[in-house]
Structure 1
Amino acid sequence: MAEEHKSHRKERHKQKHKGHGMGTRGVSRPMAEMQMMRGQQKDKDDQDKEQKQDHGKHKMTREQREQMLHMHHIQTLWVYWMIVMLGVWMILSPLTFSYGKATVMPSGGREVWLSMAERVMAMKWSDIISGLLLIYFGWRSLTPNRPVSVWICCFIGIWISIAPLLFWAPNAGAYINGTLVGALVIALTILIPGMPNMIMYMKMGGQVPAGWSYNPSSWPQRWIMIALGFVGWMVSRYLGAFQLGYIDHAWDPFFGEGTRKVLNSNMSHSWPISDGAFGALAYTFEFLMGWMGSPSRWRTMPWMVTLFGILVIPLGLVHIFLVISQPVMVGEWCTLCLLAAAIMLPMIPLEFDEVVAMGQHMVRAKKRGENLWKVFWKGSEPEEYNQDERSPKLIDLPKKPMKIFKASIWGMSFPWTLVVSTLLGLWLMFSPSVFGVGIAASAADINHLGGALIVVVSVICMGEVIRRGRYFNILLGLTVAIIPWFLQDSNLALNISGVVTGLIVAALAIPAGPKTETYGLWDKYVK
């Protein structure tokens, strides 16, 4: 009986970890998480014992990892054949669809750094050379354990995505071919099969950061980022298509010719490339990076979380600031530009928690005496070997969309103080028009910028890990309340509105609001 009971326990343990194959080794598929979470529920005592067994089990030998790498390569061999075929596609594209036909000039009479003939030639040879390189390095990647070749293919995909912007693709065919094939190559190299050779060094283990009440890298948490990134990509691509000359009209439902004037303004023309198309490129990378890695990527891929954080947080803030400065610099509003900024804004607090979790892991690794450079690039062991049992499965999205949505915004709460501050910021943005103050007036600039910045601060600080940033609203509120009184082009009604609104915003910045989750070492900063 004892032997039979022991055999039964081993079988249950085996079934529980049946999904710990490629799904937890960087293969960016929500289905991988399903496999990993399979298994029977056990009592807490049994779980504690088996977690220790898991730790030992995950200590694979180099031979085991090499065998697993070889098996995985066989399963994903089609990926590298696809890269070779895309190389052929890129070579033939400029020869099949002549880039010299149906050429267009950028909108608004913008001057570019290449002549039309040079633009056609640059795109043609860029695609041909990129195709040849994809064939060569894709062919090399057919052999297992050649991560450098795979990474080179990835960077070729990045270049293919950038080339249409840099060379001002002379027609829409060249642009859409480069941006789509580039994204596809990136997906085929580092998303579908996972990070090259990550099996050889990935540290297995827990998914929830120590002291945290949820996993900021779970698929529900990333789903909303992926969705927002895709929508932002589509909006920015439309703006870029107008600037590049592929469409003749920029639609704007609220501000008439405002979008066209903004996109053709001196502010926009000061960029060496189309700023709309550049936004589309940034959103493309954000969309793709949302799929990268397993639900443990906050500790297994710190470098990737860092890059994703840079794309979303500082570059996102720059993007938002450029948009909200349009009424000041250009004297016009742009509906689709505001929409693109509105899409980016919630992505900042939604990503901030993952960056914090990664930073905490690096701090703990340093305290353990680990090499931070190695941890940054290859990850390290978790402090706790706990699985994420709280996050719902992404496959349930069609049946339980609200449950998935709620899980996607864990880490954000919505204190009434910040919600009201957001609404007051919106009021300030449009109050000059209500009180008859022209958009070119200095008083209008104060309200436009001050109101927009209040909205930005309020929404970002709905993320609990950055709740302290709400104190910026005190400064912004006082600025809006005081500065217009010293300007000659304001009026009494706008000044009174600014005083009342600004003081309320400043007062609302004092309460911290509720804290709904725990954040390990970061808890002491959530005040």
Structure 2
Amino acid sequence: MTDDHQDAGAQEQENQQQDQPNDEEEEEGMQEPGEMMLKHPLKEPWIQYGVISLGLWLVFSPVSLGYESMFMTWSDVITGLVLIGLSGVTLLRDNPWASYANGFVGFWLLMAPLVFHAPTAAAYLNDTLVGILVITFSIIIMMRMEMDGATVPSGWSYNPSTAAQRAPLIALGLFGFFASRYMAAYQLGYIDFVWDPFFGTGTVQILDSRVSEAFPVSDAGLGAVAYAIEGLMGFMGDKSRWRTMPWMVAFFGIVVIPLGFVQVLLVISQPLLVGTWCTLCLLSAFGMLWMISLTVDEVVAMVQLLKHRVNEGVGLWHAFWMGGHLSEEDAGLNGETRSDRDRPAGMFWGISIPWYLLGAMALGFWLMLSPTVFGTQGPLASSSHLVGALVVSFTVIATGEPARAVRFLNLPLGAWAIAAPWVFGAPTLVTVNGALVGLVLILLSIPRGTIRDEYGEWWPRYIV
């Protein structure tokens, strides 16, 4: 009997030890997402060897590629040595901050050819490519670690951070990057002409305009850098990044929404300031509008997470950088959420295009074309170009369900479309056209339409 009791006790003790996590696992479970991410570079040492290789490549690039610029030569040599040094500190000193610091070095590599006006295409393309690879190694790969916990925000019907949700953003970012880099090659003197299928020399006129020359560096090159950062940020983080990386979602939202809209306004102003359009600029701006529409939902989820953490008594600054956990019980809509699988349909969750938004978008395009159709010139033509472009912009953004209220900005634009022919003086046909377009635009901007998904506290409080 004694032996049986001893065997049973030993077996029970062994089972208890197996059920209890070891100290390392328990420590990781208690850590916040930001703390785990900060220490992650120490668990992926192989990445540092990749960055060191890129540093060596930079050091020897100027002599083999013929930079023809002392500033670019010294920039690449010093930058390469910095990359090697920071990666060495990460490996030898177990300092994760050094690894993330290399990400800023990668950003400098994207900017250096613009700052120093790289005289050769080889120097520009080499720094751009190496800069993207450095950011990818030192930040993107580091922040792809999977986090435990819920993936669907509380009260939501889907996860706004899945790979499928981010795929269109990455694709649009890549298109904008290649288009902007093509135009930057003209501004930096690598090519003699930029092809434009619809406006002839319109793109060349804009790139050579006083507006572009007012920038201290190539404005198309700055656009390429912005699109590259947006595309890379699309890869950053796992499918829970709305709660594990609030700071990243916030920065991504700032780059895409306010800064992206500023870029759209610059494109809209081209016929007013230069007198012509640019096909690649228009396509990039239209893509940026869809990026704004696709980004709003993730930003809303991040804001709700921060509010939840503050209500728990956590400081806003701490929550912004560290993120937070969310239990499965508090996530989603009690089993009524959409599948988390990365499938094509998931790319457009959070987006809906009711017929009245399509109609408003069509009216915006018509206003942009009306000066050509009716032969109007002067202030009225400029007004039609500007109002039409703004209508298209606000309507595309409003296709994002969390941003549906943006459609109300079309109401004053519709009123102005009615009044403009009277203010500037126009023929009867143009006046009737403005009255009809403005009235229909106002009517189309009032209904909200069906909202397909749930957005926690955001719906229905702010979706009106």
Contact residue 481 and residue 499 of structure 1 kept, 8 A: yes
State yes or no: 1:508 paired with 2:457.
no
Deviation at 1:81, TM superposition (A): 0.7
Corresponding residue of 1:249: 193
How far apart are the structure 2 equivalents of 1:70 and 1:226? 25
How far apart are the structure 2 equivalents of 1:163 and 1:339? 27
State yes or no: 1:164 paired with 2:164.
no
State yes or no: 1:485 paired with 2:429.
no
Deviation at 1:74, TM superposition (A): 8.2
Deviation at 1:58, TM superposition (A): 11
SS at match of 1:216: coil
Contact residue 42 and residue 90 of structure 2 kept, 8 A: no
Corresponding residue of 2:75: 126
How far apart are the structure 2 equivalents of 1:260 and 1:206? 51
State yes or no: 1:463 paired with 2:400.
yes
State yes or no: 1:436 paired with 2:375.
yes
Corresponding residue of 2:351: 412
How far apart are the structure 2 equivalents of 1:56 and 1:205? 19
Map residues 274-289 of structure 1 onto 2, 5 A cutoff.
Answer: 274-289=218-233
Corresponding residue of 1:210: 154
CA shift digits 1:133-190 (9 cap, x unpaired): 0111112222474211101211111111111111111111111011110010000011
How far apart are the structure 2 equivalents of 1:71 and 1:421? 50
State yes or no: 1:476 paired with 2:413.
yes
How far apart are the structure 2 equivalents of 1:249 and 1:500? 42
State yes or no: 1:390 paired with 2:338.
yes
Deviation at 1:525, TM superposition (A): 1.1
Structure 1 residues 75 and 431 mapped into 2: Cα distance closer, same or farther (>3 Å)?
A: same
State yes or no: 1:332 paired with 2:281.
no
Structure 1 residues 75 and 174 mapped into 2: Cα distance closer, same or farther (>3 Å)?
A: same
Corresponding residue of 1:149: 98
How far apart are the structure 2 equivalents of 1:516 and 1:123? 52
SS at match of 2:450: coil
How many positions carry a matched residue from both structures?
A: 437
State yes or no: 1:354 paired with 2:298.
yes
Corresponding residue of 1:24: none
TM-score, normalisation: structure 2: 0.89
Contact residue 310 and residue 319 of structure 2 kept, 8 A: no
Deviation at 1:364, TM superposition (A): 1.0
Equivalent in 454, 458, 463 of residue 518 of structure 1? 454
Structure 1 residues 59 and 414 mapped into 2: Cα distance closer, same or farther (>3 Å)?
A: farther
Deviation at 1:515, TM superposition (A): 0.5
Structure 1 residues 468 and 81 mapped into 2: Cα distance closer, same or farther (>3 Å)?
A: same
Deviation at 1:70, TM superposition (A): 13
Contact residue 236 and residue 280 of structure 1 kept, 8 A: yes
Corresponding residue of 2:206: 262
Equivalent in 383, 388, 392 of residue 446 of structure 1? 383
Query: Match for 1:456: what amino acid?
Result: S
Contact residue 38 and residue 96 of structure 2 kept, 8 A: no
Map residues 185-200 of structure 1 onto 2, 5 A cutoff.
Answer: 185-194=134-143
Indicate the structure with greater helix content: 2
How far apart are the structure 2 equivalents of 1:409 and 1:350? 8
Deviation at 1:392, TM superposition (A): 5.3
Query: Match for 2:150: what amino acid?
Result: G
Map residues 22-37 of structure 1 onto 2, 5 A cutoff.
Answer: none
Identity %, equivalent residues: 45
How far apart are the structure 2 equivalents of 1:368 and 1:288? 33
Query: Match for 1:414: what amino acid?
Result: I
How far apart are the structure 2 equivalents of 1:193 and 1:182? 16
State yes or no: 1:97 paired with 2:45.
no
Query: Match for 2:127: what amino acid?
Result: G
Structure 1 residues 290 and 413 mapped into 2: Cα distance closer, same or farther (>3 Å)?
A: same
C-alpha RMSD of matched pairs (Å): 2.6
Contact residue 446 and residue 484 of structure 1 kept, 8 A: no
Structure 1 residues 71 and 416 mapped into 2: Cα distance closer, same or farther (>3 Å)?
A: closer
Structure 1 residues 242 and 421 mapped into 2: Cα distance closer, same or farther (>3 Å)?
A: same
Corresponding residue of 2:253: 309
Structure 1 residues 263 and 71 mapped into 2: Cα distance closer, same or farther (>3 Å)?
A: closer
How far apart are the structure 2 equivalents of 1:304 and 1:149? 19
Structure 1 residues 71 and 279 mapped into 2: Cα distance closer, same or farther (>3 Å)?
A: closer
Contact residue 87 and residue 132 of structure 1 kept, 8 A: yes
Corresponding residue of 2:55: 87
Deviation at 1:374, TM superposition (A): 1.2
Deviation at 1:391, TM superposition (A): 3.8
Corresponding residue of 1:23: none
Query: Match for 2:311: what amino acid?
Result: K
CA shift digits 1:55-80 (9 cap, x unpaired): 99997315998xx9999768733311
Equivalent in 315, 321, 324 of residue 380 of structure 1? 324
Structure 1 residues 309 and 85 mapped into 2: Cα distance closer, same or farther (>3 Å)?
A: same
Corresponding residue of 1:110: none
Map residues 228-239 of structure 1 onto 2, 5 A cutoff.
Answer: 228-239=172-183
TM-score, normalisation: structure 1: 0.78
Structure 1 residues 58 and 507 mapped into 2: Cα distance closer, same or farther (>3 Å)?
A: farther
Structure 1 residues 175 and 63 mapped into 2: Cα distance closer, same or farther (>3 Å)?
A: same
Contact residue 210 and residue 384 of structure 1 kept, 8 A: no
State yes or no: 1:425 paired with 2:364.
yes
Deviation at 1:484, TM superposition (A): 2.3
SS at match of 2:26: coil
Deviates more, 1:352-361 or 1:157-166: 157-166
How far apart are the structure 1 equivalents of 2:63 and 2:24? 51
SS at match of 2:324: coil
Contact residue 220 and residue 391 of structure 1 kept, 8 A: no
Structure 1 residues 71 and 293 mapped into 2: Cα distance closer, same or farther (>3 Å)?
A: closer
Contact residue 42 and residue 94 of structure 2 kept, 8 A: no
Contact residue 203 and residue 380 of structure 1 kept, 8 A: no
Unaligned runs of 5+ in 2: 1-17
How far apart are the structure 2 equivalents of 1:405 and 1:416? 23
Contact residue 437 and residue 491 of structure 1 kept, 8 A: no
